[in-house]
Amino acid sequence: MTTAPKTKPNRLTSYERETIIIYNGETMAEIFTWDHKLQADLKSRPEIKVLDEGIHQHPNDHYGRFEVPKSWIKVRPPSRRSLSPEQRQAIGERLHAKRSRQAAVEPTLAPSEPL
């Protein structure tokens, strides 16, 4: 008698483990996420209400639904510093000086000689 092979529950792909922010006209926003780090961060804040938690087919696929104040949701492009040529040169000189100091402190190893 043969037994059917045991199949592992399917894990969600990274594409399927998404984060959704529902941002309606209310004062609160709702976040649905599969991101473990984001879930831990949201759970650690007492101001945030946990609406629902669960597991998909695989034990490592946890989801969470949270309610956060709408004013906490921010979307902004990454900041990019615009430097003048003088600022770039000053930064380059500081970096060069720091690397020179580090090279002077680190001992140089002589190649080992055969016995």
Residue-range domain boundaries for the chain: 19-72
pLDDT at 95 (0 to 100): 92
- Asked if residue 17 lies in contact with residue 30, where contact means CB atoms within 8 angstroms, the answer is no
Joined together, the tokens standing for residue 108 give 């140089």
The pair phi, psi for residue 6, each rounded to 5°, is: -75, 135
The pLDDT value given to residue 67:
92
- CA distances (Å), origin 56, targets 12, 15, 24, 103: 8, 15, 27, 52
What mean pLDDT value characterizes the chain?
A: 80
Looking at residue 79, what is its pLDDT?
Answer: 79
Whole-model pTM?
A: 0.54
Q: Indicate if the pLDDT at residue 101 is higher than 70.
A: yes
- C-alpha 82/C-alpha 13 separation (Å) is 38
- Residues 39-83: tens digit of each pLDDT: 899 999 998 888 877 776 666 678 889 999 998 888 888 878 888
